[in-house]
A and B are shown apart, each in its own frame.
Chain A
């Protein structure tokens, strides 16, 4: 079976199963959130930019926000038969790339991801966050392993 590498762009989410891999490149203050069902070997990855949607529930779901992105990933995974209690979450990113930037978007993003996952009752099994470095993420669906790459 041919496997695919799916690049998840900023503001997007994607779901994959079996031998496919999900990836998100060049993550700064954004947060990549990986959800994995080890029993079914399905996973979803979000590359979210902002902590929470200003008007949740209105219009089409905007996956650039962490809360909406997690909701949408859960919706898709549950459709494939996943159960919330089986899911494992890992998240990566939340850096601040410019010291003078009067911004704690990265920190807020990490906090928001943690809160949302806790609220949904999803087990957090790993994180690689903060600092001032860019990161890339590869999520192997066959094993559930999330590899974080930095350039330095």
Chain B
């Protein structure tokens, strides 16, 4: 098993456990695709005007960068129904509680991923308090890209699925690293440049 697949498998398993505990029902987090992309290729993942919930977490330590978890508008609403235990289809706008719940999902996914990542690649990562923006995908992702435009060239893009039986929700998890750490961090993962089928 490749290093990236191994990281994905462990991180997804840990995130599943943590998320299940948070909402007190079984949730299966799975990685459906993962790969390294150039930063300028990130914008076309979703239409630039499409409304998304973006949960951003700055990362410091041996590697400096950003983690960004993205859900489409509908997925964010459905996720809030499940997290806050509302009738399906009731969330139509994000309340303070919904925003907190989504940020917590960001914390869980990002925290578990970075913990496994640090362990396997022997690098220290510290994640910081999450921040949420609910707006156009282009505006959200371009702000993060711009912040790193002179410092980052590549990002790790992970497509994740949250399976709350019978509902499956899809999200994107992006990890951007500073330029000076690219070789250290992405070197071992470069063999997996092409999109890799899930860790299964």
Binding site for B on A (CB under 8 A): 9-11, 25-30, 49-50, 54, 64, 95-101, 103, 105-106, 132-136, 149, 151-152
A11, A27, A50, A105: the one within 8 Å of B139 (CB): A27
Known: A10-B43, A25-B138, A98-B131. Contact between A105 and B49, CB under 8 A?
no
Tell whether B191 is near chain A: CB-to-CB under 8 Å. Answer: no
Given A50-B146, A105-B147: A100 and B129 within 8 A (CB)? yes
Instruction: Describe B's contact surface by its main secondary structure.
Output: mixed
Cα distance A103–B51 when bound, in Å?
22
How far apart are B22's CB and chain A's nearest CB, in angstroms? 22
B135→A134 contact, CB < 8 A: yes
Contact check, A135 vs B149: say whether CB atoms are below 8 A apart: no
Count of chain B residues with Cβ under 8 Å from any Cβ of A?
26
Q: A28 to B142, Cβ gap below 8 A? A: yes
Assuming the contacts A25-B49, A134-B135, A151-B51, asked whether A101 and B147 have C-beta atoms less than 8 A apart, the reply is yes
Which B residue's beta carbon lies closest to that of A25?
B48
CA distance A27 to B138 in the complex (A): 6
Hey, which chain A residues are within 8 Å of B142, CB to CB?
10, 26-30, 49
B62 at the interface (CB under 8 A from A): no
19 A/B residue pairs, CB under 8 Å, sorted by A: A25-B47, A27-B138, A28-B135, A28-B143, A29-B143, A29-B146, A50-B146, A54-B150, A95-B143, A98-B54, A98-B56, A98-B143, A100-B56, A100-B128, A101-B131, A134-B135, A134-B136, A134-B140, A135-B136
Whole-angstrom CA separation of A105 from B148 in the bound complex: 11
Cβ A99 vs Cβ B136 within 8 A: no
- Expressed in whole angstroms, the Cα–Cα distance for A9 and B42 within the complex equals 12
Closest to A99 in B: B131
Nearest Cβ in chain A — how far from B151, in angstroms?
A: 12
- Residues of chain B with a CB closer than 8 A to A49's CB: 142, 145-146, 149
Contact of A26 with B131 in the complex, beta carbons under 8 Å: no
Q: What A residues does B77 contact at CB under 8 A?
A: none
**Residue B137 at the A interface, CB < 8 A?**
yes
Q: Which residue of A lies closest to B43 (CB)?
A: A10
Q: Which residues from A are CB-within-8-Å of B40?
A: 10-11
How far does the Cβ of B150 sit from chain A's closest Cβ, in whole Å? Answer: 7
Q: How far is the CA of A54 from the CA of B145 in the complex (A)?
A: 17
Task: Evaluate contact between B48 and A100: CB separation under 8 angstroms.
Answer: no
| Complex contact B150–A50 (CB within 8 A) | yes
